[in-house]
Amino acid sequence: MKLFNLSLIIFLLISITACKEEDNEEPTRTYWKKQISNLFDISGSNLYYIYNNALVIQDHNEIGEQYNSHEINYKNDLISFVIKDDLLLSNDLRQNTYVTNISASLITTKTRKIIIDSKDGYTVHNNFLYTMTSAERVGSGLLKISEFSESLIPIVQETIHMNKISSMASDEDVLFLCRYELDKERINLDSNSASAPDPSSESSSESSSESSSESSSESSSESSSESSSDSELESEADSISSADSNTRPTRNVRTYRPRLIAYDLSDPINIAPIEFGDNFSCEELSITNNHLIDYSNQGIRIFDISEFPLTLLSTISNGNGTRFD
């Protein structure tokens, strides 16, 4: 008993001493502070950039020589901002969102903290705020449309339930939104078939809350040899149909594929789809100079959005590099 206790105490003392020896060196430790996703932007003649807890706005010439400088200070570390129309929206490390009207004099302008239920992404168009929720569960996405009041308070005008939204971007009078839609197909259960999904990825309890075209009675006559798309979000076994001796067993699975939908924003609340597009990776969307950029692991695809239907202009493939996270 005494020997046991003694050995315990020695064990603990050695452990603590080992720690102490390292602590005696007392190195200065620097921990992660923040990652900034949008460091700077140019709008009009102003250069906007993040510095410490402030967004610095500089009136500058083309070689960056500054004339006037103004700072918007935040309580917490600023990690991203976006300028859209006359509004500047920013996010801090604690996921607070702020809005500033930058059309007015910067000296008198006020920054307001706003509450956004869905923080996964937002875009602004004609004084309306469009926010999305990209919940993990398929069928649980939300698109909220809010109108800014004169005092820059967003007042929700419309909430639209839709399947998982993955990304969104807006330009001119068009909102581009990627969502996952049901795509049911019959696949082969043959273990040699490449189209058979990993059973571990199947969930029999998953269901979609969206009432549109996702009825479980939906059937498909697609070929059993069709392979699953890389972009499938999820597959779900509905039923296994036993086959006769001449037919290999098959089963229906629900798969979800990303789909791009373009909404007309000329009526900012009653938005209407004007274009559907398949074969988008929908991992990330952005718009630059009338071009829609569809980012994926494989590369980048560039679409002309000056007119519908969208035209794929070009594809730039990635090499073997790895993304820094």
Partner 1 sequence: MKNIKPNSHQTNLIQEVLSYNDSQPNSNFFNSINYSYLFLGFFTLFLGYFFYLGFRQFDPLSLSFISTQLLVNQQTILPPMLLQSTPSLIHVISLSLINMSFFELSKARIYKIVSFWVFGNILYEIMQSPMLFGTQLIPGTSDPIDMLFALVGGLTIVLSIQFGSNSWKTFTAPLRQANKRQKNIISSFVLLLGLWAMLGCDDGNDAKPIYMSYKDLRAPLQIQDLQQPKVRYGEILISDSILVSNERNVGLHVFDNSDPTNPTFQKFIKIPGNTDMEIKNGILYADSYVDLLIIDISDLNNIYLVERHEYFFEYNPHQSIPSHIVLLDLDESEGVVVEYQFVSGRNS
30 binds partner 1 (CB under 8 A): yes
Contact 48, 60 (CB under 8 A): no
135 binds partner 1 (CB under 8 A): no
Among 3, 24, 31, 205, the residue binding partner 1 under the rule CB under 8 A is: 31
Which residues on neighbouring strands pair with residue 59, listed in sequence order?
46, 68
Minimum CB distance to partner 1 smaller for 135 or for 293: 293
Among 3, 63, 155, 194, the residue binding partner 1 under the rule CB under 8 A is: 63
Contact 141, 162 (CB under 8 A): yes
19 binds partner 1 (CB under 8 A): yes
Q: Which stretch binds partner 1 (CB under 8 A): 43-51, 144-152, 208-216, 238-246?
A: 43-51
Q: Which stretch binds partner 1 (CB under 8 A): 5-13, 177-185, 190-198, 223-231?
A: 5-13
Per-residue mark of binding to partner 1, 267-286 (x: CB under 8 A): -------------------x
| Residues in region 286-325 near partner 1 by CB under 8 A | 286, 288-289, 291, 293, 299-300, 302, 304, 313-314, 316, 318-325
d(CA 48, CA 40) in angstroms, rounded, equals 5
Q: Which two tokens stand for residue 12?
A: 């603990």
Minimum CB distance to partner 1 smaller for 63 or for 107: 63
Least Cβ distance, residue 11 to partner 1 (angstroms): 8
Among 3, 24, 32, 307, the residue binding partner 1 under the rule CB under 8 A is: 32
Of 60, 171, 174, 164, the residue nearest 120 (C-alpha): 164
199 binds partner 1 (CB under 8 A): no
Q: Which stretch binds partner 1 (CB under 8 A): 59-67, 163-171, 261-269, 275-283?
A: 59-67
126 binds partner 1 (CB under 8 A): no
**Residue burial 61-84, b: 16+ Cβ < 10 Å; e: rest:** eeeeeeeeebebebeeebbbbbbb
Minimum CB distance to partner 1 smaller for 107 or for 194: 194
Which residues on neighbouring strands pair with residue 65, listed in sequence order?
none
Minimum CB distance to partner 1 smaller for 43 or for 225: 43
- How far is the first Cα of the chain from the last one, in angstroms, to the nearest whole number? 53
Classify 52 in phi/psi space as left (phi over 0), alpha (psi -120 to 50) or beta.
left
Q: Which stretch binds partner 1 (CB under 8 A): 35-43, 98-106, 121-129, 140-148?
A: 35-43
Least Cβ distance, residue 322 to partner 1 (angstroms): 6
d(CA 124, CA 59) in angstroms, rounded, equals 24
Other residues' Cβ atoms within 10 Å of the Cβ of residue 50? 22
Other residues' Cβ atoms within 10 Å of the Cβ of residue 146? 23
Contact 319, 299 (CB under 8 A): no
Contact 160, 142 (CB under 8 A): yes
Of 31, 36, 68, the residue nearest 51 (C-alpha): 36
Least Cβ distance, residue 72 to partner 1 (angstroms): 16
In the complex, which residues of this chain contact partner 1 (CB under 8 A)? 1, 4-5, 8, 12, 15, 18-19, 22-23, 27-36, 38-42, 47, 49-52, 62-64, 93-94, 286, 288-289, 291, 293, 299-300, 302, 304, 313-314, 316, 318-325
